[in-house]
Amino acid sequence: MTDYTAPVTDLHFLLTQVIRADTLWSSLGLHDADVDTTNAILDEAAKLCEQVIAPLNREADEQGCSLVEGQVTTPEGFKEAYEAYCEGGWGALGGDPEFDGMGMPKTLVACIEEMLQGSSMAFGLAPMLTAGACLALNAHGSQALKARYLPKMYSGEWSGAMDLTEPHAGTDLGLIRTKAEPMEGGAYAITGTKIFITWGDHDMAENIVHLVLAKLPDAPDNAKGISMFLVPKFLPNDDDTLGERNAVTCSAIEKKMGIKASATCVMNFDGAKGWLVGEANKGLAAMFTMMNYERLTVGIQAVGAAEASYQRASAYANDRIQGRALTGAAEPNQTADPIIVHPDVRRMLMHMRAFNEASRAFYLYVASHLDIAKYTTDDNLRTQSEGRIALLTPVAKAFMSDMALSATIAGQQVFGGHGFIREWGQEQYVRDVRITQIYEGTNGIQALDLLGRKVIANNGQWLKDYCHEILLFVSGALSIELKVYAAQLAEQTEIALALADELITRSQKNPDVIGDSANDFLHMIGLVSYGYLWLKMAQESHQLLETTHQDQFSADFLNAKQHCCRYFFNRELPRINHLVYCIKAQTDDLMAMPASLF
């Protein structure tokens, strides 16, 4: 079984050659982030993920978490791995320096997130949820709450959890019933039940800080009546030592398809003491501060698992002896050839690699705009990046996770029957990745958000700005071979713009057009985006190959970029033609059949 190898070389290539992170960070005043520092951080993170966390992934999936007398126990080795993670200061990497964080940019933090998720999605969820809770708290919490909780959460001594969903309220959070009653001294008594709470309880950190959505007694009975509250498992004393246990308990751990080594908890709040985060009835705004980052990180999760699946599939394809090449024996001295000689196996591997590497470039592209929006002093640049983030966040979450599932299924298929057997680990990646299409907003909701809110409601302006950037790039100086692909991408980009205008007009007469076309439209924008980034990667690798004495990246690495780009444009980008046909069909086949016939 192949060990996980963090994709450090590819991350370094993307940061230095495609994102131009050193120039970006310098322009934003992030002088603590530079190439040398980045290389050291990537290398150290790789060691932790490869040597400490990844070896736990398979057995932890078998063992799972257990709940005994209200206390969740994690799989063997998780607690020690978490201690190693905390000792390395990894939880503080992107944190606010005012509260003992390191203040590193998202473009760097995202790289570490992929390594962490690729080594073990179940384990990686714990720091991921803490980071999300820290973002919401830092953006909306009072100075007193931030000073008390953020340093402990950055250090990992205290972890974080987000408590949103209830048995009857998932996507429609306006239906939540959890109540918050005012108490003396400015605190609130929180009462209700939350489900699907990832790492809602565990034994790795000494305290767990829950950010809970609840309604005040006089709140509107809809989404405008939601507030956010900080509810710790243990109430801190004035000296920040842990005091009495709060009225927060885990009553059950969900039995689920994947990420079995993480505790997905049913959490009960029985008059638990909590504090308001942000303004009353503004809890959704506080939650969505976190969501842009978390939805991107869910996509990164999926990429990490898909990359691990590819690594195993590639190694297996080169080792597994079965059959002969159609063109004659490739290894005549052996009884059969390795299955890498078969075109169908290569089709699956190329599919995996083309989407994995484009996804990696895409999440770094989105992360770069998160950095710009956060740190720039140029108001126009900030506005432009905020528009790009709004437009592409649903694509990052949904398209990346959709393609990651496709990739992990292909990885399983490369193994044939062995891919269906748990021993080889490929089926775990399929099971684990599946959740990324569901949580943090299902992919159908992401598609509706993209088309309905980010394109139609915006009259296509954010999309036009983004497509203009793509068209400007493809009209620039590219190598001769890439000019063919540039023309192909320019045509598809123009089609996407024209389709957006058509959908804006059609939706005014029939709102169901949005739901009917949303998923196909999101995949179209995803393919255009990946084509854009493959051209960038191919152009940069071509220039490096032409550069004398270039020793940053091997010729094999750079040539592989050229091959993958060619494959993507020949085999994957043309999928747009089918999506366009479906969107333009204007049939009523989805809504015509009466509900009673389903």
| Residues tagged active-site | 440
In whole angstroms, what is the distance from residue 402 CA to residue 291 CA?
A: 19
Q: Which two tokens stand for residue 56?
A: 């736990």
CA dihedral 141→146→148→153, nearest 10 degrees, is: 110
- Residues 403-440, buried b or exposed e (16+ Cβ, 10 A)? bbbbbbbbbbbbbeeebeeeebbbbbbbbbbbbbbbbb
CB contact set of 421 (below 8 Å; sequence gap of 6+): 427
Per the CB < 8 A criterion, the answer to whether 90 and 112 are in contact is yes
In whole angstroms, what is the distance from residue 227 CA to residue 64 CA?
A: 33
In whole angstroms, what is the distance from residue 521 CA to residue 529 CA?
A: 12
Per the CB < 8 A criterion, the answer to whether 158 and 170 are in contact is no
In whole angstroms, what is the distance from residue 63 CA to residue 500 CA?
A: 48
Q: What is the DSSP string of 252-309?
A: EE---SS-TTS-EEEEEEEEEEEEEESSTT-HHHHHHHHHHHHHHHHHHHHHHHHHHH
Crossing angle of helices 106-119 and 283-319, rounded to 10°: 50
Q: What is the DSSP string of 453-500?
A: IIIITTTTHHHHHHHHHHHHHHTS---HHHHHHHHHHHHHHHHHHHHH
In whole angstroms, what is the distance from residue 5 CA to residue 13 CA?
A: 16
What is the residue type of 422? R
Q: What is the DSSP string of 370-398?
A: HHHHHH---HHHHHHHHHHHHHHHHHHHH
Per the CB < 8 A criterion, the answer to whether 187 and 273 are in contact is yes
Per the CB < 8 A criterion, the answer to whether 513 and 506 are in contact is yes
The DSSP call for residue 16 is I
In whole angstroms, what is the distance from residue 452 CA to residue 390 CA?
A: 12
Q: Which two tokens stand for residue 335?
A: 């009884």
Coil, strand, or helix at residue 230? strand
Element (H, E) at 163: strand 158-163
Per the CB < 8 A criterion, the answer to whether 87 and 47 are in contact is no
Half-sphere exposure for 150 (CA within 13 Å, toward CB): 26
